[in-house]
Amino acid sequence: MTETVITGGCLCGEVRYELNGSPIDMGTCHCRHCQRWSGSAFHSGVAFALTDLSFTKNEPLWYQSSSIMERSFCPSCGSPLAFRYLVPIEDPPTANPETVWISVGSLDEPGIRSPDWHFGVEGQLAWVNFDDGLPRTRCDESVGLAKAYASQEDNQADN
Give the binding site for Zn ion (CB under 5 A).
10, 12, 14, 29, 31, 34, 74, 76-77, 120
Query: Which residues contact residue 52 at a Cβ distance below 8 angstroms, ignoring those fewer than 6 apart?
Result: 19, 20, 21, 100
Backbone angles phi, psi at 122, to 5 degrees: -65, -20
| Rounded Cα gap, residues 62 and 82, in angstroms | 9
Which CB sits closer to Zn ion, 21 or 57?
A: 57
Separation between Cα atoms, residue 149 and residue 93, nearest integer Å: 16
Please, which residue, 115 or 120, has the CB nearer to Zn ion?
120
Least CB distance to Zn ion at residue 4 (A): 24
CA-closest candidate to residue 147, choices 101, 95, 98: 95
Q: Are 134 and 116 in contact (CB under 8 A)?
A: yes
Could you give the 3-state DSSP secondary structure of residue 30?
coil
CB of 12 to Zn ion, least distance (A): 3
In the complex, the smallest distance separating the C-beta of residue 142 from Zn ion, rounded to whole angstroms, is 11
**Comparison of 3 and 132: residue with beta carbon closer to Zn ion:** 132
For the bound state, the minimum distance from the C-beta of residue 2 to Zn ion, rounded and expressed in Å, comes to 30
Cβ proximity to Zn ion: between 4 and 40 the closer is: 40
Residue with smaller CB distance to Zn ion, 26 or 29: 29
Q: Please, what is the minimum distance in Å from the beta carbon of residue 1 to Zn ion?
A: 33
What is the C-alpha to C-alpha distance for residues 121 and 12, in angstroms, rounded to an integer? 31
